[in-house]
């Protein structure tokens, strides 16, 4: 495998009194699915950091590797067929590198990480009442008695703004709306008392008004509890609302990263510029949205050189043969592009 794909930028300055070491420091993660007839590299060198109380985004199209990255951090990939390599994983400075590639990583990871999945209805067991599901987590993972678990379950539903929480514990998943189901998923994640919350496109299946409420709830809970958060999405506006720093992924690699404000004002990578330009805007509703030509490569079929070059208007011969290494373009910002200066012009 190749050497480190990128060096993660320094994390945003933590609040006074916070641990100066990053909450999460992931270096050069590679994930390959080894199938009977071929190897399929899904993540090809991802480095990132999350500071205490910081929300970072992972942005990219479907198939970019962003969800695989999140699931790897939580130990959810089955090995085999997944084959995981990493230069380092540190949590509050504790070295977890060896554990990440070991058989019991999931048990260790879920003491620190929790995940909210994209579709709550498929994540909740339809034959169990909500109270049963919540209490099972609290009893098994936190060692509570059944009575204490029930009281804690009511508090969790109150925390995610589900009214009449005591009675709603007796309800089944299908008796809740999509937005309420996602609130239950947030409550299940909080039941684990995570230090890092991974939200994998948690509002994709919701309408706009419900999405806004869920995002407000996530922001409020994350700030109150000073959790780190990794927010995975393809939606630029959602990522901009929730996070302070963004990693842009394409074909299994990070192509650009930086503070969300500066990255939205002046994206340097042609792919990031294309994503920003194609987002709907109220001030140009009569104009046709520009689209990035072509399609992203299928996993395992990325072209040599810069994987984005077949779709890039700035591509030259070097882009087809030489993979660009990430370089600093501004404070806390990196871009992997041979023509970043032209893209920003």
Q: What pLDDT does residue 280 have?
A: 66
Q: How many residues does the chain have?
A: 345
State how far the Cα of 338 lies from the Cα of 317, in Å rounded to an integer.
11
State how far the Cα of 104 lies from the Cα of 108, in Å rounded to an integer.
7
Banded pLDDT at 261 (limits 50, 70, 90): confident
Tokens for 301, please give them: 């079929």
**198, pLDDT greater than 70:** yes
Residue 82 neighbours by CB distance under 10 Å: 18
Q: What pLDDT does residue 78 have?
A: 85
**16, pLDDT greater than 50:** no
Banded pLDDT at 6 (limits 50, 70, 90): very low
Long-range interactions of 138-145: CB distance < 8 A, separation 24+: 138/191, 141/110, 141/191, 141/192, 142/191, 142/192, 142/193
State how far the Cα of 265 lies from the Cα of 53, in Å rounded to an integer.
24
C-alpha 155, offset from chain centre: 27
Tell me the DSSP string of 202-252.
Answer: TTTTS-HHHHHHHHHHHHHHHHHHT-EEEEEES-HHHHHHH-SEEEEEETT
Q: Say if CB 31 and CB 74 are below 8 A apart.
A: no
Tell me the DSSP string of 44-72.
Answer: EEEEEEE-TT-EEEEE--TTSSHHHHHHH
Mean per-residue pLDDT for 82-111? 86
CATH 3.40.50.300 fits 1-112+194-214+223-280+288-345, yes or no: yes
Closest C-alpha among 235, 220, 323, 345 to residue 280: 235
Q: What are phi and psi of 190, to 5 degrees?
A: -65, -25
Residue 298 carries which DSSP code?
A: P
pLDDT digits 0-9 by tens, 150-180: 999 999 999 888 989 999 999 999 999 888 8
Banded pLDDT at 266 (limits 50, 70, 90): confident
**135, pLDDT greater than 90:** yes
Closest C-alpha among 249, 338, 330, 272 to residue 9: 330
Domain boundaries, the chain: 1-112+194-214+223-280+288-345, 123-193
Banded pLDDT at 117 (limits 50, 70, 90): confident
- Collapsing DSSP to helix, strand or coil, 200 comes out as strand
């Amino acid at each position: 495998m190749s050497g480190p794909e990128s060096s993660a930028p320094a994390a945003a300055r933590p609040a006074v009194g916070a641990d100066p070491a990053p909450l999460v420091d992931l270096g050069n993660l590679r994930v390959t699915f080894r199938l009977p007839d071929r190897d399929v590299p899904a993540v090809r060198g991802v480095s990132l950091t999350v500071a205490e109380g910081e929300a970072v985004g992972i942005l990219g199209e479907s198939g970019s590797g962003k969800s695989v990255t999140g699931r790897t951090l939580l130990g959810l990939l089955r090995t085999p067929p997944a084959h995981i390599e990493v230069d380092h994983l540190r949590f509050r400075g504790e070295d977890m590198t060896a554990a990440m590639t070991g058989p019991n990583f999931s048990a260790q990871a879920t003491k620190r990480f929790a995940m909210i999945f994209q579709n709550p209805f498929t994540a909740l067991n339809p034959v169990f009442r909500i109270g049963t599901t919540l209490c099972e987590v609290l009893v098994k993972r936190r060692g509570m008695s059944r009575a204490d678990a029930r009281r804690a379950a009511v508090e969790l539903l109150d925390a995610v703004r589900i009214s009449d929480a005591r009675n709603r514990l007796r309800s089944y998943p299908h008796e809740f709306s999509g937005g309420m189901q996602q609130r239950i998923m947030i409550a299940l994640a909080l039941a684990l008392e995570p230090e890092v919350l991974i939200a994998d496109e948690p509002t994709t299946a919701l309408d706009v008004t419900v999405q806004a409420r869920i995002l407000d709830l996530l922001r409020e809970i994350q700030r109150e509890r000073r959790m780190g958060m990794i927010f995975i999405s393809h939606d630029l506006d959602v990522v901009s609302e929730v996070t302070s720093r963004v990693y842009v992924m394409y074909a299994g690699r990070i192509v650009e990263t930086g503070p969300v404000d500066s990255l939205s004002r002046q994206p340097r990578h042609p792919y990031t510029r294309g994503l920003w330009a194609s987002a709907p805007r109220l001030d140009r509703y009569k104009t046709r949205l520009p689209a990035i030509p072509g399609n992203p490569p299928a996993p395992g079929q990325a072209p040599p050189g810069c994987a984005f070059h077949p779709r890039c208007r700035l591509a030259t011969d070097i882009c087809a043969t030489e993979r660009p290494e990430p370089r600093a373009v501004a404070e806390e910002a990196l871009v992997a592009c041979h023509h970043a200066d032209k893209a920003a012009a």
